[in-house]
Amino acid sequence: MAAIRCSGLVKRYADVVAVAGLELTVAAGECFGLLGPNGAGKTTTIEILEGLTEPDAGDVELLGMRWGGGGAGGAADRALRERLGIQLQETQLADKLTVAETVRLFRSFYTSSHSVDEVLALVELEEKRGAWVGKLSGGQKQRLAVACALVSRPELLFLDEPTTGLDPQSRRQLWEVIRRFRAAGGTVLLTTHYMEEAERLCDRVAIMDHGKVIALGTPRELIASLGAEHVVEFALVDGAGRVPAPEELAALPGVQAVRPGPDPTALTVAAVHLAVPALLGLLERRGAELSMLATHHATLEDVFVSLTGRQLRDA
Amino acid sequence: MRDRPLVQLTLARMREFYREPEAIFWVFGFPLVLAFALGIAFRNRGPGELKIGVLRAPGDSVIAAALDRSPALAAAVLDSGEARTQFRTGRIALLVVPGDPLVYRYDSTRTESRLARLEADEALQRARGRPDVASVRDERVTEPGSRYIDFLIPGLLGMNLMGSGLWGVGFSVVQARTKKLLKRFMATPMRRSHYLLSFILSRLLFLFLEIAALVGFGWLMFGVAVRGSFGALALITVLGALSFAGLGMLVASRARTIEAVSGLMNLVMLPMWILSGTFFSYSRFPDAMQPFVKALPLTALNDALRAVMIDGTGLVRLGAPLAIVAGWGAVSVGVALKIFRWR
């Protein structure tokens, strides 16, 4: 049975279409990532799935149930909420409550739940048990938010940009929490604009742009769709020599695709050992001077760039 | 053992309140400071000596001496320029111009001046030989219950119930909404009724501390007694607290920002601070305004509190003001539940 199934989702705000006919199916036990730049419609989508935003059109089914049975906030909705764990992007928990008091408050809303100690152990916040929420670091607050989502022993966990703004160490700690939840059989839907996070955590990802899914698959499949595994990026010193035309670059041995600058120019490359010497030779003949040259394994970031022509971060 | 959501929500409310020193001051400290300052400033000490000017003219010293013989008066002989200045600035209550007839110059709208006129006339007529025709004896008493502080303490109690009801509920709800905490709660199976009830419950628990602080202070510091029953007083304050908590809920039902809700709360409270007879009797307002003033919840609450504390009235005779208080609460909650923005 699918944990999440939705079709034809549409949500319009006054001057913008946030979600434009979205279809998704997430299998039970899967970790599914919604990727995309800010404003792509990720948060609107996840909040429609969570039953917090009313869609203008479309159908949502979670764990075989639908929202609004018996009216908003009715018994049927509450029964469904018992089975979900939700972390919202902007929630600020009360500053003047302690970590344990906060978890205990959320715990009291559910009929079945972890003990306070169990859930604090899950997110490694045992030492902060008695600390006021206002005194926690960003990473600790975020783990507390996830603890409040996990306290109900959910079958389905929604995380909206759980690691945005966190330092690398805090990010890794949260990834570990999510991995443990999955290992215990839970289903996760998360949104992120960190491609690395999606590659590491998700079984499948949907790349969103302007309220639509523009690519869907496992991270490996999506990267393979580029047709090459490496990316070579370079930039030239201004005014030195003549910049090679995109067609010339595309003709170099081993080059699959070219994304011209301004800065930097990126080549999708199947064979780095052929393409790089050929590129250097071409630049030398033109008298061009390199200001930067880098190669890396292709990532989901490159997939997004090749699909939209824009970088994720500044899209 | 399972935690009960209503208990946990109420505990959270109370913790957030008592861990906020500013809130403690405004709810408990401020009314006491106000009661103390006003109680001292307006304590009953009588009018003291009334200052009387005598214009420099033939016969002035005889008149001044006669006035000075009265214990209630202090006379001074003044040149005409000096007399004019002191009269205009209110430093003398009355100016006596020697001559025949004697002239009393005073402002008849000032209580003090009218008193000075009576005392001065008495002293001067006696000095010229007027006899007393009836024999009288003075009995001086000070009656607790008739002083300003006796009037003030119930008013402050009412004002405090209004302020803490509106701020306590309105502010917290809007803060939870702006911080998206309300939305987060909506993502759990929490019952909405539990959320709203938790505000009422925590208000009621703090209420008893508020009353005890203010009534106890009035009693210890100024000997303000409660003439009626404590049961009646408790019932009225509970009703008042519930009503204003309902009004707070209404004020907070749609507002998305703290600024918006602060503005709304001041809009609701300001007319009642002035009109509802907290610091002075609302009977001073013109007759045309009286029906409006009496329909305000704080006016009704203050009337009921004063009736119990000062007059010792029983609850049965307070049906009208209590119905007004309850009506405001019920209508506010009804409307609030209809239009409440849960996200």
Q: What is the ipTM of this complex?
A: 0.86
Contacts with B163 (C-beta within 8 Å, 6 or more apart), sequence order: B26, B27, B269
Q: Cβ of A96 and B11 within 8 Å?
A: no
Q: Cβ of A108 and B181 within 8 Å?
A: no
Nearest-angstrom CA–CA distance, B44 and B55: 32
Query: Residue A292 is part of a domain; what is its CATH number?
Result: 3.30.70.1340
Tell me what pLDDT residue B247 has.
Answer: 95
Nearest-angstrom CA–CA distance, A189 and A211: 17
Q: Indicate if A175 and A264 belong to the same structural domain.
A: no
A100 is a domain residue: yes
Both tokens of A221, joined, read: 């499949």
Q: Indicate if A161 and A277 belong to the same structural domain.
A: no
Q: Cβ of B12 and A105 within 8 Å?
A: yes
A291 is a domain residue: yes
Nearest CB neighbour to B181, from listed A94, A101, A107: A94
Tell me what pLDDT residue A27 has.
Answer: 94
Q: Indicate if A19 and A94 belong to the same structural domain.
A: yes
Tell me what pLDDT residue A300 has.
Answer: 85
A135 DSSP assignment: G
A302 is a domain residue: no
Determine contact, residues A246/A260, Cβ cutoff 8 Å: yes
Residue A148 has pLDDT above 80, yes or no: yes
Q: How confident is the model at residue A72 (pLDDT cuts 50, 70, 90)?
A: low
Q: What percent of chain A has pLDDT over 90?
A: 48
Q: Indicate if A138 and A158 belong to the same structural domain.
A: yes
Task: Please count the structural domains in chain A.
Answer: 2
B288 DSSP assignment: G
Mean pLDDT of chain A: 88
Tell me what pLDDT residue B182 has.
Answer: 94
What separation, in Å, do the N-terminal and C-terminal C-alpha atoms of chain A show? 36
Q: How confident is the model at residue A315 (pLDDT cuts 50, 70, 90)?
A: very low
Determine contact, residues B264/B174, Cβ cutoff 8 Å: no
Domain boundary among A172, A198, A218: A218
Partners of B291 in the β-ladder = none
Q: Which residue has the higher pLDDT, A38 or A71?
A: A38
Question: Which chain B residue has its CA at the smallest distance from A54's CA?
Answer: B343
A153 is a domain residue: yes
B90 DSSP assignment: T
- This prediction has a pTM of 0.82
Both tokens of A114, joined, read: 């972890």
Q: Among B4, B184, B196, pick the best mutation site for testing chain A contact (most A Cβ within 10 A).
A: B184
Partners of A59 in the β-ladder = A7
Q: Indicate if A103 and A214 belong to the same structural domain.
A: yes
Q: Cβ of A84 and B181 within 8 Å?
A: no
Q: Cβ of A108 and B184 within 8 Å?
A: no
Tell me what pLDDT residue A312 has.
Answer: 64
Both tokens of A85, joined, read: 């764990």
Distance in Å, alpha carbon of B253 to nearest chain A alpha carbon: 17
Nearest CB neighbour to B12, from listed A52, A81, A101: A101
Third-level CATH fold of B50-127: D-Maltodextrin-Binding Protein; domain 2 (3.40.190)
Determine contact, residues B203/B20, Cβ cutoff 8 Å: no
Q: Which residue has the higher pLDDT, B110 or A120?
A: A120
Cα dihedral B174, B179, B183, B186 sign: negative
Q: Indicate if A130 and A40 belong to the same structural domain.
A: yes
Question: Which chain B residue has its CA at the smallest distance from A84's CA?
Answer: B188
Task: Considering only the C-alpha atoms of chain B, give the largest distance between any 2 of them, rounded to a whole number of Å.
Answer: 97
Q: How confident is the model at residue A241 (pLDDT cuts 50, 70, 90)?
A: low
Q: Indicate if A277 and A198 belong to the same structural domain.
A: no
B256–A contact, CB cutoff 8 A: no
Partners of A212 in the β-ladder = A209
Nearest-angstrom CA–CA distance, A84 and A109: 12
Query: Residue A173 is part of a domain; what is its CATH number?
Result: 3.40.50.300
Nearest to B158, CA basis, from B221, B223, B252, B236:
B236
Give per-10-residue mean pLDDT for chain B (343 aa).
Answer: 85 91 84 86 73 90 89 89 88 90 90 90 89 85 78 92 90 92 94 91 87 90 87 94 94 93 93 92 92 95 93 88 96 94 87
* Domain of A252, in residue numbers: 227-297
What separation, in Å, do the N-terminal and C-terminal C-alpha atoms of chain B show? 31
Nearest-angstrom CA–CA distance, A183 and A29: 9
Q: Indicate if A183 and A110 belong to the same structural domain.
A: yes
Bond prior to A260 in cis (omega within 30° of 0) = no
Residue A40 has pLDDT above 90, yes or no: no
Distance in Å, alpha carbon of B261 to nearest chain A alpha carbon: 19
Per-residue model confidence as pLDDT tens digits over A257-297: 888 766 688 888 888 888 889 889 888 888 888 888 988 88
A99 is a domain residue: yes
Bond prior to A264 in cis (omega within 30° of 0) = yes
Domain boundaries, chain B: 5-42+144-339, 50-127
Q: Indicate if A206 and A242 belong to the same structural domain.
A: no
Q: Indicate if A79 and A186 belong to the same structural domain.
A: yes
Per-residue model confidence as pLDDT tens digits over A297-314: 888 888 888 887 776 655
Q: Indicate if A7 and A138 belong to the same structural domain.
A: yes
Domain boundary among A218, A247, A275: A218
Per-residue model confidence as pLDDT tens digits over A168-199: 888 998 999 999 999 999 999 999 888 888 88
Both tokens of A123, joined, read: 């997110």
